[in-house]
Amino acid sequence: RTEQEDIASPKRTNDLLKKHSLVLKKSLGQNFLVDPNILHKIVSSADLDVNKGVLEIGPGVGALTQQLAKKAGKVVAIEIDQRLLPLLTETLAGYAHASVIHGDILKVDLQALFQEQFKDFAQVSVVANLPYYITTPIIMKLLEEKLPLEYIVVMIQKEVASRMSAKPGGKEYGSLSIAVQYYCEPEVVTIVPKTVFIPQPNVDSAVIRLKVRQKPAVEVEDEVFFFEVVQASFVQRRKTIYNNLAVRYFTKETKGQLEAILLEAGIDPVRRGETLSMEEYARLSSCLSKALGRA
């Protein structure tokens, strides 16, 4: 079998959808990429070669899958919409090392999948044009499961890419920035206009590359508590760190100790959560955990 013609063009994608009588589902985030230049940028920033594996989430009609298969040693794509499977068989004919699994990425046992599919690959990356309605749950699942990933290269909403890569001090910086940067080094690869998709989404997009760290950016004794403190610090963004933490962890009678805890962690109680670095959150969660008798 020979490789199928590349399908990354509006005409070819539309023809294929028509041929299979497929009407796209907005509810599944089905906005298909039809621009070869953007596909090239995504694939090249994943730094693939034949010794590396790729997990793709939501192959759609297979435009990105085809390009990934040209570079990587193995591509496994998970697609929730069963209607796309016959179409994918067609577009991926000729790429024997690319396969599609019907499933929901949020329900798939990724540890087992990695064992089964990628045991022969030292490096595996996730590369995808994500369904935007579940961007954060997907990214958090990939990171929290601590999969042995090299990169996560994904197309997401521009605004979410800004939040993931934000530094302390601005209004985009929040618990998502800290969670992503705890596990990865983010880099926005390119901003993508709505016009390169069929149908066009309502928002602009960006390709972000997350280089997964070998070990987290800061050392914390209790990860669950660390992320809980971060969350609590951003509940009311306009309030001080003191006020947010007082509400979460203290009563009227006990909140007197909080000022001393913050000062012990080297943090001025009148600062807002959005000004604290990850290192400061690590120190704060450690001091708070001891004071609350959790450590």
Residue 182 C-beta: closest distance to ligand SAM, Å? 24
Residue 142 C-beta: closest distance to ligand SAM, Å? 12
Nearer to ligand SAM, 169 or 199 (CB): 199
Residue 34 C-beta: closest distance to ligand SAM, Å? 7
Residue 79 C-beta: closest distance to ligand SAM, Å? 5
Nearer to ligand SAM, 26 or 97 (CB): 26
Nearer to ligand SAM, 164 or 282 (CB): 164
Ranked by CB distance to ligand SAM, the top (closest) residue is 58
Phi/psi of residue 30, nearest 5 degrees: -85, 85
Nearer to ligand SAM, 91 or 285 (CB): 91
Residue 82 C-beta: closest distance to ligand SAM, Å? 10
Residue 285 C-beta: closest distance to ligand SAM, Å? 32
Residue 127 C-beta: closest distance to ligand SAM, Å? 9
Nearer to ligand SAM, 60 or 186 (CB): 60
Nearer to ligand SAM, 130 or 232 (CB): 130
The H or E element containing residue 32 is strand 32-33
Whole-number Å distance between alpha carbons of 238 and 192: 32
Whole-number Å distance between alpha carbons of 11 and 35: 11
Token digits for 193?
A: 């206009």
Whole-number Å distance between alpha carbons of 152 and 159: 18
Count of alpha carbons within 13 Å of 148, Cβ hemisphere only? 15
Residue 146 C-beta: closest distance to ligand SAM, Å? 20
Nearer to ligand SAM, 80 or 262 (CB): 80
User: Where does residue 182 rank: exposed (0-12), middle (13-18), buried (19+ CB within 10 A)?
Assistant: buried
Residues in the chain: 295
Question: Residues 67, 232: contact at Cβ < 8 Å?
Answer: no
| Sign (positive or negative) of CA dihedral 177, 180, 187, 193 | negative
For residue 20, the 8-state DSSP code is T
Alpha helices in 131-240 (DSSP H): 135-144, 158-165, 175-183, 223-233
Nearer to ligand SAM, 64 or 210 (CB): 64
Residues of the shown chain interacting with ligand SAM in the complex, contacts defined by CB under 6 A: 28-33, 57-60, 63-64, 78-81, 104-106, 129, 131, 134
Question: Residues 207, 201: contact at Cβ < 8 Å?
Answer: no
Whole-number Å distance between alpha carbons of 234 and 255: 18
Whole-number Å distance between alpha carbons of 123 and 149: 7
User: Where does residue 75 rank: exposed (0-12), middle (13-18), buried (19+ CB within 10 A)?
Assistant: buried
Token digits for 33?
A: 């990429």
